[in-house]
Amino acid sequence: MKKFFALLLTLAMAFTLVACGAEEFELALITDYGTIDDGSFNQGSWEGLEKYAKENKISHKYYQPADEADDAYLNAIDLAVQGGAKVIVTPGFLFEVPIFVAQDRYPDVKFVLLDGSPNNGDWDNFEGRVGDNVVSIFYAEDQSGFLAGYAAVMDGYRNLGYMGGMAVPPVVRFGHGFVQGAEYAAQELGLPEDSININYFYTGTFSPAPEIQTRAAAWYNDGVEVIFVAGGGIFFSVVPAAENAGQFVIGVDTDQSGLSDTVITSALKLLTQSVYDSVESFYNGTFAGGQTRIYSASNMGVGLPMATSKFNTFSQADYDVIFEKIVSGAVVVNNNTEMAPTDIPTSAVVVNDQN
Amino acid sequence: MSFDVLVFLIQQMMFFSIPLLIVALGGMFSERSGVVNIALEGIMIVGAFIGVLFIFFVQGAGIRINGQLLLLLTLLVAAGAGILIALPHAYASVHMKANQVISGTAINMFAPAFAIYVARMIRSVQQIPFTNQFYIESVPILGNIPIIGQFFFQRTYILTYFGFLILIVSWILLYKTPFGLRLRACGEHPQAADSLGINVFKMRYIGVMISGALAGIGGVVFVIPTSITFDATVAGYGFLALAVLIFGQWKPGRILFAAFFFGLMKTVSVAYSSIPFLNNLNISGSVYKMIPFIATLVVLAFSSRKSMAPKAVGVPYDKGSR
């Protein structure tokens, strides 16, 4: 009798599982480090997917991997496919290896990979390929960071800070662009040598932590006037230090001016729009599988939200001039992520690397 | 080292040390009564979550009350929440004689999930934001005292003083009252205490409840000065508080010392750029990151030989055994 009940129970559980699987979600997003509402990267991507899905009444869902490892990311992708996903959006550099596997495992599913290009992650026997069912999207974070650094120096700030999350290529590009932008502005203003200081640090995490608050407080205490924070959660730890010191912050990815009065501007990359475009392309049959797309200044993929920025003197006209220079190629931002920030050739800017 | 730098370091140190102090004192009450409490992390999360949620609702409703008053009310709410979440642990480990590590772990796993779930039901995102109206630029009168004023009464939070108050009250309660003696007896030799008519179950319940209240308060104390949102995490500080408790040998005075030690090491490891002589050394930042851990290892190596854990801690009380 007992065995019979055990069997009954097992069957009941099995059926429940099947019942769960019956509901299907056509559009799926797998979150990267951090959560869906990180106020920047994951959230920006999700908003694009959600916008299209709601406008066109398409079922959609996001999945958070159980762990921050390739296997866990792949599991989440498996889960999404089993859940009926036709398009899977994976925001983040760390999905390069999982997508490299998944693009062959699920040839009928379309993938949108942000900030990365599928590869096997083995640098000695490197193999990379954007499958026919994958669109790989990059952003010119270096240009966005450049604009932020340029604007800050033009606006009168001389003592700057850069705090990135993990030193993954997009975060590195933001930082290097920031340094170059500050240098370019200093040259335009004819500032003397070593007149601009930039503290430079990668926190190694995208999550808030009191240590980050203290480091930021120490920087402000040392005289830093504005810190460019390139990382979802760490923003929440830098802001209290800025508030207490009466100093400022530059946000990242999305317009973060609504989160605190200390935010003078944000180095944008138009995640929401790019995800929206990609999802739309799938439904109108123009999905550019196998291609790499770059969102940069020339296609309005990066920039600063001038409408919500709180600059003293830096105006929309100033912004348009420098933006146009980047678009026309008169200003070329070095986006090499292999070098150290101190190796960027500068004369007016001193990079104080704390890593 | 210039004076201003020292002031800055002390002020920053308090943000680390005070929550550790309060939570470790909470752990002390529980363990001194004979119940291991590794649920401190989870209780901190619940306390911080309910506390910040309370602030969120009060501020959201547009109720204008004094920031310090609001903060004290928040601490009260957080203490209540901490007691509630600690009760299952007390029930399992005192009444049910269950393994105390398991129920503690259960709370640690439950707390962040609970915070995220409820936050999403209310706000559809997991962060609960709050406006910081609690920062004190300078305490009236006291802030003007030279030196001492700068160290302890400027750029601070009322939470710092609250932490010291808890320390003093804890010390008196533990060593100068009959209650404290009974509590300690239950952690050392519950059979002897029982033979003298002390209700061991009751004392242990009280011990765990006090630790719940203090850990809940500690959660709020941890979040307020270092963030503008609560993100369902206290970054492992509950476990660090456990280390402070052990390093502090289950005694209030030593716990204070341990909390300050950890706090100072943490501060130095990230704020070294402000300390001129350290900054001039030009050592890689990674070396400073290791400081808190190396210092902890060294100190524990020297001090752990005469560890003074309560004798009966972790052992469920059984009337029948001797």
| Residues near B110 by beta carbon (within 8 Å), at least 6 away in sequence | B42
For residue A296, give Cα distances in angstroms to A144, A152, A336, B107: 8, 20, 15, 47
The CA distance from A221 to A321, in Å, is: 34
Distance from CA of B290 to the nearest CA of A (A): 13
Q: What is the CATH number of domain B3-306?
A: 1.10.3470
pLDDT of residue A41: 81
pLDDT for A21 equals 47
Q: Which of A37, A259, A354 sits opposite B273 (nearest CB)?
A: A354
**Domain residue limits, chain A:** 16-139, 141-269+300-353
Superfamily for A141-269+300-353?
Response regulator (3.40.50.2300)
pLDDT, position B3: 83
What is the pLDDT, as a whole number, of residue A195? 94
pLDDT at B14: 93
Question: How would you label B91-103 residue by residue, b for 16+ Cβ within 10 Å and e otherwise?
Answer: ebbbeeeeebeeb
Query: What pLDDT, on the 0 to 100 scale, is given for residue A10?
Result: 62
Residues of chain B with pLDDT under 50: none
* pLDDT < 70 stretches in chain A: 1-22
Query: Does the CB of B278 have a partner CB in chain A at under 8 Å?
Result: no
Give the tens place of pLDDT for each residue, A242-261. Answer: 999 999 999 998 888 988 99
Q: How far apart are CA A221 and CA B35, in angstroms?
A: 43
pLDDT, position B1: 56
Locate the chain B residue with the closest alpha carbon to A34.
B231
Interchain contact, A207 vs B132, CB within 8 Å: no
- Half-sphere exposure in the Cβ direction for A307 (13 Å, CA): 2
CA distance, residue A282 to nearest chain B CA (Å): 28
Q: Using CB atoms, pick whichever of A37, A218, A243 lies closest to residue B273.
A: A218
Residue range A16-139 forms a domain whose CATH class is: alpha beta
- Position of tokens 């930021």? A216
Is it true that A16-139 and A141-269+300-353 share their CATH fold?
Answer: yes
Segment A45-87, tens digit of pLDDT: 999 999 999 999 999 999 988 887 889 999 999 999 999 999 9
pLDDT at B305: 74
CA distance B178 to B198: 11
Q: Which residue has the tokens 């009466």?
A: A246
Q: Is A44 an 8 Å CB contact of chain B?
A: no
Looking at chain A, which residue has its C-alpha nearest residue B19?
A: A210
What does the pLDDT read at residue B120?
87
Nearest to A218 among B126, B233, B274 (CB): B274
User: CA neighbours within 13 Å on the CB side: how many for A210?
Assistant: 25
- Nearest beta carbon to residue B229 from set A199, A201, A236: A236
